Structure 1
Amino acid sequence: MTSRTPPPAVAETVLGLLALDEVEQDLYCAPPAVEEPFPLYGGQVAAQALYAAGRTVPPGREPHSLHGYFLRGGVAGTPIAFRVSRDRDGRSYSARRVTATQDGEVIFTLSASFVTDEPGATREVQPAPVVPPPEELPEAVLPRLLSIEAKLPQQPDPDVEWPTRFWARCTVDLPDDPLTHACVLTYLSDISSGLFPLHDENNATGASLDHAVWFHRPVRFDGWLLTDLVPKAAGRGRGWYTGTVHAPDGELVASIAQEALFRGRRDIG
């Protein structure tokens, strides 16, 4: 995985990206991510929106799902404002909506749900992909990401333009806070696409349209996690894929689903 080197980041680590300024109650601001007007990475705005929402919920409630819509292309060199709406606080669940704006225009919206931890039956139907542990694999590069290292196992589709299966972990010390770990995983979750195996000489995936993550168990992203993205369908200018995130012991910690543009290569945008 290669890409040209981005300009120096204003936020030097992923924790810097999550250092939102509270302007007033339920309104937060993120400083520019980089010094130049590069396109905004979708995983960044999703992670920041989730973090803004999480700062408004009662103590002891962790993220269990998020659903986001990418409405306009953002700019990495411009501040982002996050307005949180407190839809409901029940006995166990809290619901929040977040609107992200740049220069007065809405670029992203998020619905997120938070829950108190409770005991319950655990069932997993699909086992984790069988791959070598990260310690046995060569290093890889995930461009645009701060504080993330990766290892690349053999790909299910070796000829794809971009990996759909990879180990990753955060390289900075994360606080013992479930919200932060969930946000850093959200930051990673938009870096690739499960639609790459569907590419041909005429058609390819484009910008993300909507994105969802479900957190099945508390996430610890200061250790290795295995992401596996799988194509499901494409048609009418859109493609849809799902993904799983497993811990090294095979436990499923999160699931991903995304729809993105899927068009003729000359029409992507």
Structure 2
Amino acid sequence: MSARIIGRKLKQMSRIGTMATNSASDLEGEVIRSFISLESLDPNIFRAPKENLWHPNRSRFIFGGQVVGQALVAACNTVSPDHLVHSLHCYFLRGGNSNWPILYHVDRTRDGETYASRSVKATQDGKAIFTMQSSFKTDEKQVYRYTMDMPKVKGPEEYLDANEILKMRLDEDGVSDKEKEHISRTLAEEIPLLIRPTEPESYYRIKTGKPERLLWMRANGNIGDDNKLHQCVAAYMSDFSLLGTALQPGGPNFETRFMTSLDHTLWFHNPFRVDEWMLYESFSPHAGNGKALVLGRVWKQDGTLAMSVAQEGVVRNTPVSKM
């Protein structure tokens, strides 16, 4: 399928996709596609309606991964169908606001036979909130290949969904009313992703843990067969729970006063489908001075490395007072 104006085609994907799916899966896929859907205002300018912007529970700003995914949609709309993104580098300049639409301005920096480059600036109310540099490449076959080994972990069917874990947490003894309220709000958000952490107690900071994390993740619903669309949804998904990796050593002994992304980088290595289970591996080599660095890898179930991730963010924690 042509990548020409992906945003315009998003609502058609469940109808024209060749995968055999049921209507419920198509509807769920439609939900996640709406999170990155854009309106075309000009060949180089795209608009994200404020109604589609997601402001997560307990966050000051809209979800950063949504801005990354939408910016990639805008860039993809301006390259040829045979060019797929292989890397992107982002800076978050201001927190996004769900009261204003976002405009994405694309600069067609370079078009070559093998590589193409795009710069994207996102603005709200006339102010820049985000910039992205992205590079696209045509397919190139090479005999020489090398990749690391995927971590050894049980399959996704062996773990509970994050929402199931939270529902169980509501019934546990010793859970404060404040935490129950937060859990209830989180469950009400109905995020269009399925997340299965391998160590839930560290993931939810019920106990302290190492600054490393493994979780299974996939889009909840059929995304269709457009490779570019899978890359854009993956960019959206890549920001989920990433900085939280750096919070695990503090566990319940620290309270997070403020946390937000500063920059975000993705490298795409091999084709994948985001509506199939992938293992998200992340680890944080350093946290301090109000910042944390987190690195990650995303693996297909067959052990193929799909993506690499890097992010630095603001992390401000205070010790929990002992009564």
What range is the shorter-chain TM-score in? Answer: 0.7 to 0.9
Decide which moves more: 133-142 or 199-208. 199-208
Check if 1:217 corresponds to 2:270. Answer: yes
Task: Write the letter of the residue equivalent to 1:138.
Answer: L
Check if 1:69 corresponds to 2:95. Answer: no
1:110-189 correspondence to structure 2 within 5 Å:
110-120=132-142, 121-125=144-148, 127-141=149-163, 146-154=191-199, 159-160=207-208, 164-189=213-238
Cα distance in 2 between the residues matched to 1:103 and 1:65: 28
Q: Which residue of structure 1 aligns with residue 299 of structure 2?
A: 246
RMSD, matched Cα: 2.7
C-alpha contact 2:35 2:52 (8 A) present in aligned 1: no
Q: Which residue of structure 2 aligns with residue 26 of structure 1?
A: 44
Cα distance in 1 between the residues matched to 2:55 and 2:304: 39
Task: Report how far residue 76 of structure 1 moved.
Answer: 2.7
Task: Write the letter of the residue equivalent to 2:103.
Answer: A
1:78-97 correspondence to structure 2 within 5 Å:
78-97=100-119
In structure 1, stretches of 5+ residues that fail to align are 1-10
Q: Which residue of structure 1 aligns with residue 19 of structure 2?
A: none
Decide which moves more: 160-169 or 84-93. 160-169
Decide which moves more: 195-204 or 228-237. 195-204
Q: Which residue of structure 2 aligns with residue 60 of structure 1?
A: 82
How many residues align structurally?
Answer: 255
- Structure in which a larger fraction of residues adopt helix: 2
Task: Write the letter of the residue equivalent to 2:114.
Answer: S
Distance 1:181 1:34, change over 3 A: closer
1:101-112 correspondence to structure 2 within 5 Å:
101-112=123-134
Task: Write the letter of the residue equivalent to 2:147.
Answer: E
Q: Which residue of structure 2 aligns with residue 100 of structure 1?
A: 122
Task: Report how far residue 178 of structure 1 moved.
Answer: 1.2
C-alpha contact 1:48 1:183 (8 A) present in aligned 2: yes
Q: Scaled by the length of structure 1, what TM-score is found?
A: 0.85
Distance 1:24 1:254, change over 3 A: same
Larger radius of gyration: 2
